[in-house]
């Protein structure tokens, strides 16, 4: 359904809508309020996001290029985050921020042992290190280590000087500002579909000069 919606609109509008409405923001409440880390639908949703980006850019993404696309914009990505990578950070941050409220509500009741929270904390600790004694309530604290690991894996995969330089440029300050620009034609901020395709391909290190099928069908 997402791809069908995005197919008939300008590529810049489609990219903004995908990042701001149809990706993580669409399911963040569910990720924060329900234990969904092992749910099979997360992988299906991520695959749908990947195919949406491929449709917008008229290209195929390798696994490492999809990893870069799913990084935050400030880290060289497109900001279309993988929901599977946010399932633990979102739930743990939400649970940590409501522990005192749970205690107040459940005063005098048989309290839950927070089995899901403890399980996710153990899983997070196994990947990223010790868990603080006082659990931080901000989601970026739990999310940032995973982003840094993805960046490190991405940097290790860049074997050519050209691709390393491209990634450094994409990660530099303000290089992704165009991704947040509102598409106002009267201010010269609306990009045509080909400009968006070229900009995204340069950012992700995709091949530009290859045969591809245009939105018009040619």
Residues contacting residue 96 through CB under 8 Å, at least 6 positions apart: 117, 135, 136, 137
pLDDT digits 0-9 by tens, 137-195: 999 999 999 999 999 999 999 888 888 898 999 999 999 999 999 889 888 889 999 99
pTM above 0.85, yes or no: yes
Q: How confident is the model at residue 96 (pLDDT cuts 50, 70, 90)?
A: very high
Which residue has tokens 């010790």?
130
Helices (H), 136-190: 139-157, 161-171
pLDDT digits 0-9 by tens, 32-84: 999 999 999 999 999 999 999 998 888 889 999 999 999 999 999 999 999 99
Find out whether 63 and 104 touch, Cβ atoms under 8 Å. no
């Amino acid at each position: 359904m997402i791809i069908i919606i995005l197919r008939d609109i300008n590529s810049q509008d489609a990219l903004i809508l995908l990042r701001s409405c149809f990706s993580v923001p669409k399911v963040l409440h569910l990720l924060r309020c329900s234990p969904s880390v092992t749910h099979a639908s997360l992988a299906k949703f991520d695959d749908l996001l990947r195919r949406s980006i491929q449709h917008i850019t008229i290209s195929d993404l390798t696994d490492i290029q999809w990893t870069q696309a799913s990084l935050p914009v400030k880290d060289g990505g497109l900001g279309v985050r993988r929901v599977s990578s946010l399932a633990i950070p979102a739930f743990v941050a939400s649970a940590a921020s409501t522990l005192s409220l749970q205690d107040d509500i459940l005063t005098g009741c048989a309290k839950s042992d927070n089995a899901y929270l403890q399980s996710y904390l153990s899983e997070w600790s196994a990947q990223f290190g010790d868990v603080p004694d006082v659990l931080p309530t901000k989601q970026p604290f739990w999310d940032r280590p995973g982003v840094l690991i993805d960046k490190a894996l991405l940097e290790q995969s860049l074997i050519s000087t050209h691709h390393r330089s491209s990634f450094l440029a994409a990660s530099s300050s303000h290089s992704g500002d165009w991704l947040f620009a509102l598409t106002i034609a009267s201010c010269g901020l609306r990009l045509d579909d080909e400009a968006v395709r070229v900009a995204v391909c340069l950012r992700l290190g995709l091949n530009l000069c290859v045969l591809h099928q245009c939105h018009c069908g040619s």
